[in-house]
Chain A
């Protein structure tokens, strides 16, 4: 399922990345073809291609001529490194912005996080 809040090609890339991180698509295994993804999501194959290329550029997928797209050997580690690097920006920054607007001090946020971890 796709939503309206982000570009479609980015959602395609993220969904494939989610599958690789979850181990559904193992290193050396193929991911669904561009045509399959296009038919499944009822979108233009060029849009799928754009999403797949994001992962090719990131070294997560590689093209095997005549066979399709495959997960690279170090794909999972690369995705984890990328997502950890983006964690502060994508998750912590919005959390702190919301905390500020609610008048929560840093100590409150720490306490809430500690409670969540337990």
Chain B
């Protein structure tokens, strides 16, 4: 196995009394598309800023491509961070952005940028500030993909994009992985169902803590759900503690951590219940459902 693109060791980031990231330790392999998932306020943007060297952890160590990215020129030149709310100078139009971008990205691909501008139908005469939300997202995607940066980070690249543009982004993202050198893409999104097929690797944050990390199929295989009439479902669940419980009237839906126990499917069918795998979206929703309690505790501590 090659060296990981990203290595986090005990990374915490505090802002005053708020803990935005809490002791995060993980590796992201080189060459993957990595989804950064979790609710608003889970710490996704803080982590992305740290990876890009725009911020540094309060404690712990970060390595991107083998070095600490903070104010490290070589690493910063190899990392591209596309923020969801990137600010541009007041009168900047697309051509100004495209003129400046190559200065920050040594592997900049002008032809790819031009093709992407066409794909996303970005207007040449409108200032970036006056573009629609979706067009602004398009500008960010052009910068991120055409940078060909070995580590490219997108914060919510999908905001405001129409269905066609989202498809184009997915196609271009996949194509960009086969341009010679290994490219690691980290992206945050809330459109998990739509993105799941693109993600090789996921990191799930909740309240600043890393609650799941690994290959996407392994993360989703380590959860299963049981649903149906509450009495029968709770009886079958026995002593197993669910990570989330959703109850409506006499019906209950439970999500459990761990692989689906052998034979539980047949047992469920005999009891008129449903056992099913858990989609990535359902798992992330389940993991985020109980966020209020631990956060409140930490605030009080």
Contacts and interface: CB of A to CB of B under 8 A. Distances in A.
Contacts, number: 49
A1 B276 contact: yes
A112 interface: no
A22 B251 contact: no
Given A1-B225, A1-B227, A15-B228, A22 B272 contact: yes
B272 A3 contact: no
Given A1-B225, A19-B229, A24-B228, A40 B251 contact: yes
Interface in A15-39: 15, 18-25, 32-33, 36-37, 39
B253 interface: yes
Contacts of A19: 228-229, 272
Interface string B239-273: 00000001011110100000000000000011111
B45 interface: no
A36 B274 CA distance: 17
Given A1-B253, A19-B229, A24-B229, A39 B272 contact: no
Contact of B250 (A20, A22, A36): A36
Nearest to A20: B272
B47 to A, nearest CB: 30
Nearest to A3: B276
B232 A24 contact: yes
Q: How large is the interface on B (under 10, 10 to 19, 20 to 34, 35 or more residues)?
A: 10 to 19
Contact of A25 (B229, B246, B269, B270): B229
A75 to B, nearest CB: 13
A3 to B, nearest CB: 7
A36 B248 contact: yes
Nearest to A39: B248
A30 B158 CA distance: 45
A22 B249 contact: no
Contacts of A25: 229, 272
Contacts of B248: 36, 39-40
Contacts of B246: 40
A19 B272 CA distance: 4
Given A36-B248, A40-B253, A22 B232 contact: yes
B251 A32 contact: yes
Nearest to A11: B274
Interface string B199-230: 00000000000000000000000000101110
A36 B272 CA distance: 17
Contacts of B269: 18
B251 A1 contact: no
A71 to B, nearest CB: 12
Contacts of B274: 1, 15, 18
A18 B275 CA distance: 13
Contacts of A23: 272
B276 to A, nearest CB: 4
Interface of A: 1, 3, 15, 18-25, 32-33, 36-37, 39-40
Please give me the 5 A-B residue pairs with the lowest Cβ-Cβ distance, nearest first: A22-B272, A1-B276, A36-B249, A19-B272, A18-B272
